[in-house]
Amino acid sequence: MESAPLRIAVIAGSTRPDRKSRAVARWVTNRAAASPADFVLVDLADHPLPFLDEPLPAIHGSYAHPHTRAWAALIDSFDAYVFVVPEYNRSIPAVLKNALDFLHAEWRDKAAGFVGYGADASGARAVEHLRLIMGELQVADVRSHVLLSAFTDFDRDGAPRPPEHAEAQLHTMLEQLLSWGTALRSVRTETAAVAG
Q: What is the pLDDT of residues 84-115, one digit of tens each?
A: 999 999 999 999 999 999 999 999 999 999 99
The verdict on pTM exceeding 0.85 is yes
3-state DSSP call for residue 11?
A: strand
In the predicted structure, residue 178 carries a pLDDT above the cut 70: yes
**Domains, the chain, ordered by start:** 7-195 (3.40.50.360)
CA 140 – CA 112 distance, rounded (Å): 6
Question: What mean pLDDT value characterizes the chain?
Answer: 96
Quickly count: other Cβ atoms within 10 Å of residue 161's Cβ: 12
CA 34 – CA 123 distance, rounded (Å): 27
In the predicted structure, residue 190 carries a pLDDT above the cut 80: yes
pLDDT attached to residue 186: 92
